[in-house]
Amino acid sequence: MGKSLRREEAGAAVGNGSSGLVEGTMRGSFPSRNTVTDQTRIRNFSIIAHIDHGKSTLADRLMEKTGAVSERDMREQLLDSMDLERERGITIKAQTVRLDYTASDGEGYVINLIDTPGHVDFSYEVSRSLAACEGALLLTDAVQGVQAQTLANAYLAIDAGLEVIPAINKIDLPAANPDRAAAEIVNILGGSANDIVRMSAKTGAGIDEVLETVVRDVPPPQGDPDAPLRALVFDSYFDAYRGVVCYVRVVDGHLGSGDSLRFMATKEVHDADEIGFLTPKFIPVGTLGPGEVGYLITGVKEIDRIKVGDTITEARTPATEALSGYAEPKPMVFSGLFPTDGDDFEKLREALEKLRLNDASLAWEPETSKALGFGFRCGFLGLLHMEIVRERLEREYDLDLVATAPSVAYQVTMPDGSVTEIKSPQDLPESIDRQGVAEPYVKAMILTPSEYVGPIMELATKRRGIVGNMNYLSPERVELDFEIPLAEIVFDFFDLLKSKTKGYASLDYEPADYREADLVKVDILLNGQPVDAFSAIVHRNGADHYGKKMTGRLRGLIPRQLFDVPIQAAIGGRIISRETVRAKRKDVTAKCYGGDISRKKKLLQRQKEGKKRMKMVGSVEVPQEAFVAALKVDDDS
């Protein structure tokens, strides 16, 4: 009953406030306390899993089952609303939705679910989501069984003190082996294989059981309704009309529409212009009580003024202690982005600023390259993130970009003992001008069928990995833990791993520490001129191999020009390898008489369009792809 009342208020709020924003004068016009849901009737949980194990599809079924979305509005992976998410079929940003469910005990429950991304680049989204929940539904694909992110996300949930509810998905598939998957899960979480829900997000089998298990096993929130307000901002995004929209989880007390709020970390005070919950439509309400999840709009337009992880309290009767927030996601890889047309520099800056409104993990600083001109050194969470950002910049902002080979951040100890961080190989001082260099290491975990342990060990060792534990999840599946330089795995390691294991192994990693290493900068010279954008930092033992691979690769990528183009790799002036792109000898149409002139001109014009994807580096035309593609050198290791 309480809920239906709130729906009516929602209508009133929309009707009164123009553009859906509730003005300050509306304050007090809602009965505030008597409408919030009792905490015993609230269940908050995240769906977590390895990539593609069916989280978003399960969310679809749950929304359908509980009537959150009408059949007419339903479409696959409804919560994946960004174009890129739909095209790639993956979740990039976590999404929240509130469901009303009448359980078999006859009681009505409010269920807040958060669908999370499975890709390792976006695992910080999982951590944030977990902080707003009491439970986590851990999905495992019945065909693939436990994979690296299944394990990694399960540990995240356990460490966050959440109740983890396992479920096995895709039992409809002919190759499904739910018993094996169940046994693997029991090895991680304990419990009994018989208690694990088996379901299909595709056919809908077992969905009722999922809902019942969530109601039964996810602990209800236990906030203090009488304490001062404490609510966690667990996500935010920028909306062109409404400004910054925060997703909040009320922990203690009540968050009322119109309240004057203090953001404890930023120390800013803003009014709650509108609050409400997502069904997934925005439904404004008067109050959010303890344990509830919803959104908050304050009228703030600048995304940087709201910090995700911040605690909101009431300005007049503030709480004394903030909730434990979370660390900002740290960029792991860095790449230079340069407009092909130098005039687009400002346009690129504006586009980056706009993207950042919805992607706080994106960081950049201006970078100047002798070869590529003015651009930005951008930090990304990983290669997928980098690819997505670049694609969005080019597509949504109509930019034509050259991306340089990604690198990691190094810590350089200078002669005076001070330490500076460099994010670009070209910033590495010559070896006589530094005391040392340290590189980032990660803790990596590979889950693999046991027959591939040998090849994987070999691969990891070749990449300077130090193999640690080996755990058998089942007789056939092994977890391998090791420490390895980030630079060695971030680019092509995953592809190699997949190809060495017929696609069966999966990888997860998290930052560990920095360690000193004997690193050198390998420069690439085109036509005798060093091209800063091609420089890379590599381990001394691998430098020769790298130089050879790189020059060979570039020889294949750089088209023949009007003159011979020597390509050299060098360490501090010493040439370690050399290749030559021979001058083009023939580029001519054999016949050109009266008939062909218009057609011929069109053909040449088309060839020219192709050439626009080239960047002049000195007097050499280099295809834009070369700057990144050249780095994927290790096809034989």
Residues lying near another protein in the complex (CB under 8 A): 562-563, 584-598, 600-601, 604-605, 607-608, 611, 619
Is 55 one of the binding residues for Mg ion (CB under 5 A)? yes
Is 57 one of the binding residues for ligand GTP (CB under 6 A)? yes
Among 66, 169, 313, 426, binds ligand GTP (CB under 6 A): 169
Residue whose CB is less far from another protein, 267 or 608: 608
Residue whose CB is less far from ligand GTP, 11 or 89: 89
Is 51 one of the binding residues for ligand GTP (CB under 6 A)? yes
308/592 Cα distance (integer angstroms): 65
Q: Where are the beta strands (DSSP E) in 431-530?
A: 436-449, 466-474, 477-485, 506-516, 519-526, 529-530
Residue whose CB is less far from another protein, 267 or 586: 586
Which of another protein, ligand GTP, Mg ion, none does residue 586 bind to, with CB < 5 to 8 Å depending on kind? another protein
20/228 Cα distance (integer angstroms): 28
Which of another protein, Mg ion, ligand GTP, none does residue 568 bind to, with CB < 5 to 8 Å depending on kind? none
Would you tell me the crossing angle of helices 207-217 and 55-65 to the nearest 10 degrees?
A: 90
Q: Which candidate, 541, 597, 547, 586, places its Cα nearest to that of 570?
A: 547
Asked if 442 and 434 touch (Cβ cutoff 8 Å), the reply is: no
Is 49 one of the binding residues for ligand GTP (CB under 6 A)? yes
- Per CB under 5 A, which region of 89-97, 106-114, 159-167, 358-366 contacts Mg ion? 89-97
Is 96 one of the binding residues for Mg ion (CB under 5 A)? no
Q: Output the smallest distance, CB 527 to another protein, in A.
A: 12
Q: Output the smallest distance, CB 141 to ligand GTP, in A.
A: 8
Please give the structure tokens belonging to residue 511.
């930052």
Give the count of residues interacting with Mg ion (CB under 5 A). Answer: 3
Residues 457, 461, 463, 467, Cα dihedral to 10° = 70
Residue whose CB is less far from another protein, 601 or 632: 601
Residue whose CB is less far from Mg ion, 50 or 463: 50
Among 12, 84, 173, 193, binds ligand GTP (CB under 6 A): 173
- H/E stretch holding 389 reads helix 383-396
Please give the structure tokens belonging to residue 497.
């791993």
Nearest residue (beta carbon) to ligand GTP? 118
Pairing of strands 410-413, 419-422: antiparallel
Is 289 one of the binding residues for ligand GTP (CB under 6 A)? no
Is 170 one of the binding residues for ligand GTP (CB under 6 A)? yes
Asked if 103 and 36 touch (Cβ cutoff 8 Å), the reply is: no
Give the count of residues interacting with ligand GTP (CB under 6 A). Answer: 21
Residue whose CB is less far from ligand GTP, 57 or 66: 57
Is 448 one of the binding residues for ligand GTP (CB under 6 A)? no
Residue whose CB is less far from Mg ion, 46 or 624: 46
DSSP state of 534: G
Q: Output the smallest distance, CB 202 to ligand GTP, in A.
A: 3
Residue whose CB is less far from another protein, 414 or 604: 604
Residue whose CB is less far from another protein, 466 or 592: 592
Which of Mg ion, another protein, ligand GTP, none does residue 89 bind to, with CB < 5 to 8 Å depending on kind? ligand GTP
Which of ligand GTP, Mg ion, another protein, none does residue 241 bind to, with CB < 5 to 8 Å depending on kind? none
Residue whose CB is less far from ligand GTP, 89 or 415: 89
DSSP string of 99-128? EEEE-TTS-EEEEEEEE---SGGGHHHHHH
462/439 Cα distance (integer angstroms): 17
- Please name the residue that has the structure tokens 């990528």: 557
Is 54 one of the binding residues for ligand GTP (CB under 6 A)? yes
Cis peptide before 318 (omega within 30 of 0): no
Which of ligand GTP, another protein, Mg ion, none does residue 605 bind to, with CB < 5 to 8 Å depending on kind? another protein
Asked if 328 and 360 touch (Cβ cutoff 8 Å), the reply is: yes
Q: What are the residues facing 522 on neighbouring strands?
A: 536, 571
Asked if 117 and 91 touch (Cβ cutoff 8 Å), the reply is: yes
Among 32, 66, 91, 535, binds Mg ion (CB under 5 A): 91
Which of Mg ion, ligand GTP, another protein, none does residue 72 bind to, with CB < 5 to 8 Å depending on kind? none
Residue whose CB is less far from another protein, 190 or 594: 594
Residue whose CB is less far from ligand GTP, 169 or 369: 169
Contact partners, residue 1, CB within 8 Å, separation at least 6 = none
- Please name the residue that has the structure tokens 């040392």: 436
Please give the structure tokens belonging to residue 498.
């997949």
- Per DSSP, the three-state class of 569 is strand
Is 172 one of the binding residues for ligand GTP (CB under 6 A)? yes
67-88 burial, b for 16+ CB within 10 Å, e for fewer? Answer: ebbeeeeeeebbbbeeebbeeb
In total, the chain counts a number of residues equal to 637
Q: Output the smallest distance, CB 61 to ligand GTP, in A.
A: 9
Q: What are the residues facing 473 on neighbouring strands?
A: none
476/496 Cα distance (integer angstroms): 21
Residues that bind ligand GTP (CB under 6 A): 49, 51-57, 77, 89-91, 117-118, 169-170, 172-173, 200-202
Residues that bind Mg ion (CB under 5 A): 55-56, 91
